[in-house]
Amino acid sequence: MTNEELLKIAEKAAENSYSPYSHFRVGAALECSDGSVFTGCNVENCAYGCAICGERTAMVKAVSEGHRDFVRLAVTSPDSVDWAMPCGQCRQFMAEFNLDMDVIIGRQDGQFMILKVRELLPWSFNPDNLP
């Protein structure tokens, strides 16, 4: 699967977003080493701390199905003309599983960039930091 195809899956996932407060839909598509893909969208809540981002939704779905071997994560938003950068919580969540995972960050105009998790969250706190 190409990076563009994974981004298209993320774009489709954004259509399911529940974002009545921010009006900022986010879609994510997570590829695992066996080729399976898990999608996610952001789900907001009137108690803002209860919201979850699309990236974490996809990762939680994968873990709940027995996958922890994340290879690539595409993230995009149809509501932003700029890059759909993952938030700090999502970056920390990614660091738990694979600092070398490719994160494909899309824009509305079809352009994308690819960064490693370790580039998005340098000097991360990760499982290697624990005894």
Q: Write out the two tokens for 44.
A: 């907001």
Q: Would you name the residues annotated as active-site residues? A: 55
Q: Whole-angstrom Cα distance, residue 42 to residue 22? A: 10
* Distance (Å, whole) CA 4 – CA 25: 19
